Chains A and B, each alone.
Chain A
């Protein structure tokens, strides 16, 4: 049973470009979470999605960031007009449980570098 798959593992963008990060949850999981990790820091919650629904986006910056989890295909975290401060590791996690939190299974992360 494959784990949470994230791609790309590494992404380099110049300021002003767009970054798209993809996440395929574990088989049978319909809940996806995105976290951001700055160098030498902890994991900051960004957004929680179910298929075709954003449940909690309280950690998402109000501008330039968006997330989706379509009926078919992976979840996408999109960052428009990237700035140097967006450089970080972005982790996706999935869970089979609805409502109350259980174990989150994390992917290996996508490391975004903005030049």
Chain B
């Protein structure tokens, strides 16, 4: 089955800096790659997703890139703000979402 690895597990940045989180997946049949943000005590919320027929997608300060050959995808957050502090999960899917282990992002003012 699918296996998703995510790095780093923790990431601390200064407000205004960029943050990058990377994931790799094992099943070449996976075709949907969402990113979720989870705040303390809450459920995960989708922030951006990408499908396998696209290499890059951007939504304001957030972008995701996908390299199907290498089987890895990344989340890029630019101009980080304190409210970006949360745990971020990547996931990959053929028929069900398999999640990475999460990255705790802390943005210091």
Contacts and interface: CB of A to CB of B under 8 A. Distances in A.
Interface of A: 4, 33, 35, 41-45, 48, 56, 58, 91, 99-109
A103 B96 contact: no
Contacts, number: 54
B22 to A, nearest CB: 15
| Main DSSP-derived SS at the A contact region | loop
Interface of B: 1, 6, 31-32, 34, 36, 41-46, 49, 89, 93-102
Nearest to A106: B43
A45 B34 CA distance: 15
Contact of A58 (B1, B41, B42, B101): B1
B96 A33 contact: yes
B18 to A, nearest CB: 24
Given A101-B32, A108-B43, 9 more contacts: A33-B97, A35-B99, A45-B97, A56-B95, A91-B44, A100-B32, A101-B94, A101-B95, A106-B36
